[in-house]
């Protein structure tokens, strides 16, 4: 009985070992080595890469990344909760409305960011329309700033917030809501005092599912933020490419990975199993 199972699990296990575990180990080792003279890494061992993380030089990048990720998370939940509520209450049309949320999630993030560049740039649609309506004279600087990055994050990760909240709402015992209404609670009170507390696990999952990818984002800040909005993801990419400081890039990666795993683990513990 177990033989087939073992044979079937082997290719995936081998691949995970080679492409997940071993690279993580290599990055871990690199993060405590010195930068080599020609890129690469060199002995002796050091913890300096980690102590550099609190260097004020990089502090701004971390603070900006955390702030943007937190803001994106808050916005996604605020915007996503009512939508999840709408879908959960839409009866037979549920699947259609759900597909409309999932569809953009699977269609090229890169292209969706490009669509926003098209809308936001100085000669983009929004500025052109506003100018021709005479609302503004000079184009508004909509692109290449923190606001544009935040918009990109919310746009990209909103489905992550809607889906787990919807999953909880869908399983919610409707009789609890009816009971509250029967006992005289007004719709708004049912929402804030019954539905919302019951949704807490879904909201928690949504928060983490949005926060983690937002914190590690790379292309959103690169395309919509321009060179002014460097985030952790860009820092990592930069260390491994142009700056050629692999040990420091590795240390940042390790921290990012640990944060992601710890946060995701709390979702998993609460039973929001993906696997």
Residues 161-200 that bind another protein (CB under 8 A): 187-188
Identify whether the C-beta of residue 155 lies closer than 8 Å to the C-beta of residue 120: no
Q: From the list 50, 58, 62, 97, which residue makes contact with another protein (rule: CB under 8 A)?
A: 97
The yes or no reply on residue 261 touching another protein (CB under 8 A) is yes
The yes or no reply on residue 109 touching another protein (CB under 8 A) is yes
Nearest to 215 by CA among 168, 262, 248: 262
Q: Which stretch binds another protein (CB under 8 A): 53-61, 110-118, 174-182, 197-205?
A: 110-118
- The footprint of another protein on residues 34-63 (CB under 8 A) is none
Q: From the list 4, 37, 43, 133, which residue makes contact with another protein (rule: CB under 8 A)?
A: 4
Q: Which stretch binds another protein (CB under 8 A): 48-56, 70-78, 89-97, 173-181?
A: 89-97
Q: From the list 75, 168, 199, 256, which residue makes contact with another protein (rule: CB under 8 A)?
A: 256
Q: Which CB atom, from 160 or from 203, has the smaller least distance to another protein?
A: 160
The yes or no reply on residue 11 touching another protein (CB under 8 A) is yes
CB of 218 to another protein, least distance (A): 4
Q: Which CB atom, from 47 or from 114, has the smaller least distance to another protein?
A: 114
The yes or no reply on residue 133 touching another protein (CB under 8 A) is no
Identify whether the C-beta of residue 111 lies closer than 8 Å to the C-beta of residue 105: no
Q: Which CB atom, from 56 or from 121, has the smaller least distance to another protein?
A: 121
Q: Read off the tokens for 216.
A: 């590690």
Distances, alpha carbon 171 to alpha carbons 88, 130, 165, 175, 202, in Å? 9, 45, 10, 12, 11
Exposed / middle / buried, residue 70 (Cβ in 10 Å: 0-12, 13-18, 19+):
middle
CB of 268 to another protein, least distance (A): 7
Residues with Cβ < 8 Å from 141, sequence gap 6 or more?
Answer: 122
The yes or no reply on residue 222 touching another protein (CB under 8 A) is yes
Q: Where are the alpha helices (DSSP H) in the chain?
A: 2-16, 22-30, 48-51, 56-88, 94-106, 109-120, 125-132, 146-171, 174-182, 187-190, 196-198, 200-215, 219-224, 232-240, 246-269
- Residue 171: what are its φ and ψ, rounded to 5°? -90, -5
The yes or no reply on residue 125 touching another protein (CB under 8 A) is yes
Please report the sign of the dihedral spanned by the C-alpha atoms of residue 261, residue 262, residue 268, residue 272: negative
The yes or no reply on residue 93 touching another protein (CB under 8 A) is no
Q: Which CB atom, from 1 or from 57, has the smaller least distance to another protein?
A: 1
Q: Which stretch binds another protein (CB under 8 A): 53-61, 164-172, 173-181, 249-257?
A: 249-257
């Amino acid at each position: 009985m177990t033989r087939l199972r073992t044979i079937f699990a082997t290719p995936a296990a081998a691949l995970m070992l080679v492409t997940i575990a071993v690279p993580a180990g290599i990055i871990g080792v690199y993060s405590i080595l010195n930068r080599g003279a020609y890129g690469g890494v060199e002995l002796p061992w050091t913890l300096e890469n980690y102590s550099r993380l609190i260097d004020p030089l990089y502090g701004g990048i971390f603070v900006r990344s955390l702030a943007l990720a937190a803001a994106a998370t808050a916005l996604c939940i605020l915007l996503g909760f009512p939508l999840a509520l709408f879908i959960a209450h839409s009866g037979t049309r549920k699947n259609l409305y759900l597909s409309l949320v999932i569809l953009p999630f699977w269609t090229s993030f890169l292209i969706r960011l490009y669509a926003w560049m098209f809308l936001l740039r100085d000669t983009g649609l929004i500025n052109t329309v506003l100018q021709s309506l005479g609302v503004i004279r000079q184009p508004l600087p909509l692109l290449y700033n923190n606001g544009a990055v935040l918009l990109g994050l919310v746009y990209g990760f909103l489905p992550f917030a809607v889906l787990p909240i919807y999953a909880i709402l869908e399983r919610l015992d409707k009789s609890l809501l009816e009971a509250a209404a029967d006992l005289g609670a007004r719709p708004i009170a049912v929402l804030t005092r019954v539905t919302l507390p019951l949704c807490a696990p879904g909201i928690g999952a949504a928060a983490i599912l949005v926060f983690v990818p937002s914190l590690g984002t790379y292309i959103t800040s690169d395309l919509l933020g321009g060179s002014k909005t460097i985030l952790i993801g860009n820092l990592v990419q930069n260390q491994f490419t142009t700056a050629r400081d692999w040990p420091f890039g590795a240390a940042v990666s390790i921290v990012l990975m640990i944060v992601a795993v710890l946060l995701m683990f709390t979702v998993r513990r609460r039973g929001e199993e993906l696997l």
